[in-house]
Structure 1
Amino acid sequence: MKAFPAYIDLRGRPVLILGGGAAALAKARLMLAAGAKLTLIAADFAPETKAELETQARLIAREPVAADIEASVLVFIADTEESEAWRWAEVARLAGVLLNVVDQPELCDFTTPSIVDRGRVTVSISTGGAAPVLGKRLRADIEALLPPRLGALAEFADRYRDTVKATIAPEERRTFWEEFFDGPIAAQILAGDEARAHEAMLALVNRPQAEEKTGAVHIVGAGPGDPDLLTIKALRLLQRADVILYDRLVSDEILSLARRDAERFYVGKAKSNHAVPQEEIEARLIEFARQGKMVVRLKGGDPFVFGRGGEELEALRNANIPVFVCPGVTAATGCAAAANMALTHRDHAQAVTFVTGHAKGEADPALDWSALAALKNTLVVYMGVTKAETIAAKLIEHGRGRDTPVAVIENGTRENQKIVKGALGYLAHLITASEIKGPALLVIGEVAALADGETLIDIIARQRAAA
């Protein structure tokens, strides 16, 4: 460790900045955020510096003197000639005042780190002035991992510190707080529901600690498959989960992002092959939560778009299990983007309709074909590969043109994605010729003509050339 990191309470304490340009303004913003009593001294101030700071700090238009530095806790030198910086650095050293000189680390007693500010939670990253850009990149990475309301969580915990001391035995407090930060009350605060969090916290601190504790379930959308399309919130939950129940459409790349020691259970379903019945999935979620575990129910796409997330939410609420929902990028938008195809377009479609091509057992989907054919906008069919011939026939029978463009996207956003396109009348032939098995999405409408991908003619020509 080249430099010791420390946090200084600057509230109401005198801090001096020598300089009046852009670099001085940047340091001033940091000091004002820390509550310092701020003074800037410069022969001249840039207009933007003066406009922003004249009501928040003392701006003195003159040359500095030694007494200015001696009266300060910290001194920053910015927008100053190098010879002047060396001069005032020597004054600061003689006065025993800590000094930072912008872009001259050899003169600095301290450096200002890249900061992630979450109120009562502050994270700082420093390279000791060696690579400031690297520090900023690391800050961006950490920003993505920390919930926006993390500061509110720290404030909440601080409000209950004395209450916990008064009601929880000293040997049990550490365990209490560890369970609190991993539990449903913390999740409520991070979700913005502080009113219910206060009610739950009061009940928690007043109940016997030997009682059975309840965990929480997070129903999480994993997106269409590309791990880069996983939401930041979903990533955080995966890295905190004790137990993960995941579906068939969740990619290995996304599972690899989960906490290494988390228990993982495959509960996927395929057509006519439900590896784990829905009722058993719901029972497992309830059982794990009642064991006090933090459970993630991980689903491909978005859990509330043909994902049966609503059924699981209802079952968990009926069992009085704390449950939270984290949306994901649904297959329609993810796959359309992968095919460079807009689902709506001012010249082609002013609306988009999502339907499922999957019915119970082997039955045909029970859809209002007349209404769907009459829309003349974009129709997106989930789980429609095995019933593609029936879907096309029904739409054509009820008035949709045989030449309506269609696109079929298999494994959209993944490395093995396949995109083909053609006409509605040849949809079944297109799927057969391209050997699409699923999971795949059918897009029907004028926008499908804009998709990337092979046509039936391209596929036949490629197969003949290979033969």
Structure 2
Amino acid sequence: MYPIMLDMNNKLCVVIGGGKIAYRKVVPLLKAGANIHIVSPEICDEINKLWTEQKVKVYLKEVEKADYEHAFMIIAATNSKEINEQIYKNSSENQLVNIVSDQEMGNFHIPASAVRGRLVISVSTGGASPTLAKKIRNDLLEQFDESYEGYLDFLWEARKKIKNSILSQTMKSNLLNELGEEKYKDFEFERNRFMARLNDILVD
């Protein structure tokens, strides 16, 4: 499998199925800004709430090929293996398809993941053990705690300022390398000192 971070903003994602599993697939897609259509004769309370809040579109019907033929991403999460398989067979080779009931059938699977601000932690065991993937993810979450949110915001802001500046390439490289020092991860006042110094350099 080829690991990738995917921009889903405003991309059409069709989720077939309206149960708890479908809901769990929908939540991270919503956070990623996807345009989500859900097709299912019945939906769980959680999906109904999202529908009521106009966060997703819901079509209370049996799925047809026309429902997903223009989708960027398709997630088949019905409780029928036959329907899920038919969805995959009807999809085009240019569509991203995840078959919840059979990870080997689709062309991508969704790893165990967690988000801390700009930090995204994803773990996959290649389908060998989703339980182990979740355990490793949880272990990593303990290692990379909430403090990384502020740290990564600092790195993002500093890097953006440096990259967009008219400083020499050597100066840019030196500043970017300095950002990797441990003190900036552990001490907020060191981050503030760096930003103050960087602002002075850019003004000069």
TM bracket (short chain): 0.7 to 0.9
Corresponding residue for residue 79 of structure 2: 80
Offset, 1:200? 4.0
Sort the Cα spacing of 1:163 and 1:82 in 2 relative to 1 into closer, same or farther, 3 A. closer
Match of 1:61 in 2: 60
Alignment partners' CA distance in 2, 1:149 and 1:73:
35
C-alpha separation in 1, matches of 2:187 and 2:14: 42
CA distance in 2, matches of 1:112, 1:53: 23
Letter in 2 for 1:14: L
Which TM-score applies when normalising by structure 2?
A: 0.86
Counterpart in 2 of 1:203? 197
Q: TM-score, normalised by structure 1?
A: 0.40
Give CA-to-partner distance per residue, 1:299-355, whole Å, 9 cap, x none: xxxxxxxxxxxxxxxxxxxxxxxxxxxxxxxxxxxxxxxxxxxxxxxxxxxxxxxxx
Is the 8 Å Cα contact of residues 168 and 205 (structure 1) preserved in structure 2?
no
1:153 maps to which of 114, 128, 151: 151
Distance 1:82 1:103, change over 3 A: closer
Label 1:33 to 1:124 Cα distance change in 2 as closer, same or farther (>3 A): same
Match of 1:137 in 2: 135
Pair member with larger Rg: 1
Is contact 1:167-1:206 (8 Å) kept? no
Distance 1:74 1:122 in 2: 20
What CA deviation, in whole Å up to 9, does each residue of 1:259-287 have, x standing for no partner?
Answer: xxxxxxxxxxxxxxxxxxxxxxxxxxxxx
Counterpart for residue 42 of structure 1: 40
1:70·1:95 contact (CA, 8 Å) conserved in 2?
Answer: no
Report deviation, 1:199: 5.0
Partner in structure 2 of residue 256 of structure 1? none
CA contact (8 A) 1:43 1:62 kept: yes
Q: Distance in 1 between matches of 2:27 and 2:123?
A: 18
Q: Which runs of 5+ in 1 are unaligned?
A: 208-467
2:10, 2:34 within 8 Å by CA — same for their partners in 1?
A: yes
Separation in 1 of the partners of 2:28 and 2:176?
A: 32
Contact 1:185–1:201 (CA<8 Å) still a contact in 2? no
The alignment's C-alpha RMSD in Å is 2.3
- Does residue 30 (structure 1) correspond to residue 23 (structure 2)? The answer is no
**Retained in 1: the 8 A contact 2:155–2:179?**
no
The answer to whether the Cα contact below 8 Å between 1:99 and 1:108 also exists between their aligned partners in 2 is: yes
The 3 A distance-change label for structure 1 pair 5 and 114 is same
SS across alignment from 1:111? coil
Distance in 1 separating the partners of 2:158 and 2:85: 49
The 1:45/1:106 distance shift into structure 2, 3 A limit, reads same
Report the residue type matching 1:146 in the other structure.
Answer: F
Partners in 2 of 1:51 and 1:13 — Cα distance? 22
Following the alignment from structure 1 to structure 2, what is the Cα–Cα distance between the partners of residues 104 and 8? 22
Letter in 2 for 1:177: L
Higher RCO structure (Cα 8 Å, ≥6 apart):
2
The size of the alignment, in residue pairs, is 199
Report the CA distance between 1:150 and its aligned residue.
2.0
Closer, same or farther: CA 37–127 of 1 in aligned 2, 3 Å = same
Greater helix percent: which structure?
2
Aligned to 2:178: 179
Question: Amino acid of the residue matched to residue 39 of structure 1?
Answer: H
| Structure 2 gaps, min length 5 | none
Structure 1 residues 204 and 115: alpha-carbon distance in aligned structure 2, compared to 1, 3 A threshold: same
> How many Å separate the matches in 2 of 1:84 and 1:185?
52
Q: Give the Cα–Cα distance (whole angstroms) in 2 for the partners of residues 105 and 13 of structure 1.
A: 22
Structure 1 residues 185, 206: CA separation in 2 closer, same or farther (over 3 Å shift)? farther
Separation (CA, whole Å) in 2 of partners of 1:104 and 1:162: 42
- Is it true that 1:170 corresponds to 2:189 in the alignment? no
- Does the alignment pair 1:91 with 2:90? yes
Q: C-alpha distance in 1, partners of 2:198/2:93? A: 53
Superposition pairs of residues 52-451 of structure 1, within 5 angstroms = 52-55=50-53, 56-92=55-91, 94=92, 96-165=94-163, 166=165, 168-189=167-188, 197-198=191-192, 200-204=194-198, 206=200
| Distance across 2 between alignment mates of 1:46 and 1:62 | 14
d(CA) in 2 for partners of 1:59, 1:157: 39
CA drift at 1:64? 1.8
Partners of 2:184 and 2:199 in 1: CA distance: 12
Distance of 1:40 and 1:70 partners within structure 2: 14
